[in-house]
Amino acid sequence: MASISLRKLVKRYGHGPKANQVIHGVNAEVQDGEFIVIVGPSGCGKSTLLRMVAGLEEISDGEIAIGSRVVNQLEPAERDIAMVFQNYALYPHMSVFDNMAYGLKIAKVPKDEIKARVDKAAKILELGHLLERKPRELSGGQRQRVAMGRAIVRQPQVFLFDEPLSNLDAKLRAQTRLEIQKLHRELGITSLFVTHDQVEAMTLAQRMIVMNGGHMEQFGTPEEVYHQPASTFVASFIGSPPMNLLQHAPGARPGTLLGIRPEHLDVGNDGWEVVVDTVELLGAERLIYARLGGEALIVRVEEGRPAPQPGDTLRVAPREDRLHWFDAASGQRL
């Protein structure tokens, strides 16, 4: 296992004044054994950042260290990493065992050791009864576990996951998230996991890097990112539904945006007067979509409360200890 250091990392495509810079000076220190999620919308640079760590993208400026080694000039095979991709990349004509063992055979690992490593990974991932099957005989979730098993048998210092759950349905995604958490608890290998899904990020990460336009907006625990977002981008991207950001709410300061999470607005007899647009029932809770003057507002309430109707007027009180303030021009937290 190893730590990972990203130091003033830059990626440009092209040269000179027309060069397109897609990663802008990312700095991050990942501790040995940490599970880090890199999250952000499509095109934010998260997969590019991961591929730079893997050695699949050239580094324009800055430095990457894995453990005590600077790896800028090392080929992917020399970096002691294992990567799990979105598309599984299994050999269709090979059995599960052979898919998991292939990299070890190429590395000329002795047969007895190959079998021991594959059997151990198969036990961890509950694949023992599938080792003789071909990929076409497996479900999507089983194929992804085989891809993870192929990475495990390598015994790398670092795991890199590039949106590995994107091809799974919602139920399998949730199940595989639990398997990945269990896997990390058992193996403790330093891991970088890329996703655009903020639910995956919040549930998997020990710490998370939130990317936006090639910039690292925030690096912190899920609790820090959710409860103390560093910018309006983080506030609106992390959380479902997102944080309310209001410019003209009562008590708002000039040049400042007021942020409040939907669950931190209490419906009652006091507070802001809002007009209901629509209501969504989500099992144990309801989301009330309303208007505060000319601004949209979302309020989360427990399912047991009487449901308001479109056009109703409500009063909602923001919890004073849950207010967030952001500079309206820069979007940065104040």
- How confident is the model over 191-246, as pLDDT tens digits? 999 999 999 999 999 999 999 999 999 999 999 999 999 999 999 999 999 999 99
CATH top-level class of 4-231 = alpha beta
Q: Contact, 178 vs 31, CB < 8 A? A: no
Specify the domain boundaries for CATH 2.40.50.140 within the chain: 241-327
| Share of residues in the chain with pLDDT > 70 (%) | 100
pLDDT digits (tens, 9 = 90+) for 104-150: 999 899 999 999 999 999 998 889 999 999 999 998 889 988 999 99
Q: Contact, 162 vs 84, CB < 8 A? A: yes
**Residue 20 confidence (pLDDT) above 90:** yes
Specify the domain boundaries for CATH 3.40.50.300 within the chain: 4-231
Burial environment of residue 28 by CB neighbours within 10 A (0 to 12, 13 to 18, 19 or more):
middle
Q: Which pTM was predicted? A: 0.91
State the CATH architecture for 241-327: Beta Barrel (2.40)
* Lookup: tokens for 195: 């996703």
How far is Cα 277 from Cα 34, in angstroms, rounded to an integer? 44
Letter string b/e over residues 244-264, b meaning 16 or more CB atoms within 10 A of that residue's CB: bbbeebeebeeeebbbbbbbb
